[in-house]
Amino acid sequence: MSLSLTIPAPIAPPTPGAPGQLRHLLGIRGLTRRQAEALLDQARLCKAARHAPAETGPSRPLAGRRIVTVFYEPSTRTVQSFHAAAAALGAQAVDLPVDRSSVHKGERLDDTLETVAAIGADAVILRHPQTGAAHYAARHLDVPVINAGDGTGEHPTQALSDALTILERRGRIAGLKVAIIGDIRHSRVARSNAHLLTLLGAQVWLSGPPTALPPAGIPGAARVARDRAEALDGADVVMALRVQRERQASGLMPPAAAYRAWWGLSAEALEQCSPDVVVLHPGPVNRGVEMDGELLADPRCAVRQQAANGVPVRMAVLLTLLARGGDRSWSMCSSAAGW
């Protein structure tokens, strides 16, 4: 399948103002603190409402709406949780199976997306290997576009899921020390998290192999640690990033054993952190590389909670972008809650 596409990579900021005014969710960069906090408040409401008994639960605010997931890269968590979120809100979620689509016949991204919209889409959720693809899509479509990961650009709903998990575990984000460890340079998860967590007042430290650190332009107000020990020292949250095997093949990343020794998380490495450290990983985890397999069962590890929180976060994003005035019974988001 040819994915070649020349896309300039403008990082256009979303429309500033209240969250209800967001047209698309293309990245964390450009969101105001109030918009980010309101999305998280909305996610917490969605989580509570989703687990309410049916008789007291909310209505189906997005009934009759159709969202389409268009993923040019594999996904388990993101695509599944968008579909679960749409179902919880009464919307229909449809997947374009890119591998079996006319993309194989050479159809361009803009033609593919415009066709999807013409057939019927109230929102398009796009994952694409090219950085800037979601911005490109937003310029071609009249419906909201949600970035589900664009190259090395951003993965905003992952960062919101991670922030919700930190809030649930620690009760706040402001003032926490967060260590992000791994292939920072190529990680859209690291980029979105660095922007979001610094926006919300955390101190973000980045650590990884020298070939995997950004040559310039550290995202957000993050700092680069000298080594893993400096990043982990007293950390309240540690986020390990997935080692992308294709980068190991290219020589950009050390072999797995060396990576584990220098940047992997183990029970021993976590002794440098705060006693109630929260361990995160966006998944999928390469056991024994980014983190030892037994850490997945450690009570400090919130990896499964991160995945579960993808549903209410994506519900919040869909509601914010799609709910009409009359649908706002779920959209009780006001200004920031007291965290």
Binding interface with ligand CP (CB under 6 A): 75-78, 149, 158, 282-283
Nearer to ligand CP, 18 or 296 (CB): 296
Identify the sign of the CA torsion 144, 149, 153, 157. positive
Min. distance of Cβ 64 from ligand CP in angstroms?
Answer: 27
Tokens linked to 101: 């689509």
Place of tokens 């985890």: 285
Closer CB to ligand CP, 204 or 307, in the complex: 307
Distance separating the N- and C-terminal Cα atoms of the chain: 46
Q: Which is nearer to ligand CP, 30 or 283 (CB)?
A: 283
CB 335 → ligand CP: shortest distance, Å? 29
The residue written with tokens 């997945």 in the block is: 296
> What's the closest the beta carbon of residue 66 comes to ligand CP, in angstroms?
21
Smallest gap from Cβ 78 to ligand CP, in A, equals: 3
To ligand CP, the closest distance from the beta carbon of 282 in angstroms equals 4
* Least distance to ligand CP, CB of residue 314, Å: 11
Shorter beta-carbon distance to ligand CP: residue 42 or 157: 157
In the complex, the smallest distance separating the C-beta of residue 328 from ligand CP, rounded to whole angstroms, is 29
Q: Is 49 or 67 the residue whose CB approaches ligand CP more closely? A: 67
In the three-class reduction of DSSP (H, G, I as helix; E, B as strand; rest coil), residue 149 is classed as strand
In the 8-state DSSP scheme, what is residue 54? Answer: T
Q: Among residues 112 and 147, whose Cβ is nearest to ligand CP?
A: 147
Shortest Å, Cβ 69 to ligand CP: 11
Contact 173, 147 (CB under 8 A): no
Nearer to ligand CP, 80 or 266 (CB): 80
Cα(212)–Cα(174) distance, integer angstroms: 27
Token look-up 């989703």 returns 50
Token output for 281: 């990983």
Closer to ligand CP by Cβ: residue 190 or 321: 190
> 316, 280, 9: which is closest to 135 by C-alpha?
9
Question: How do strand 278-280 and strand 237-240 relate by DSSP bridges?
Answer: parallel
41 near 162, Cβ under 8 Å?
A: no
The residues, ordered by sequence, that sit 6+ positions from 91 with a Cβ below 8 Å of its Cβ are 62, 63, 64, 65, 66, 67, 122, 318, 322
Q: How many residues does the chain have?
A: 339
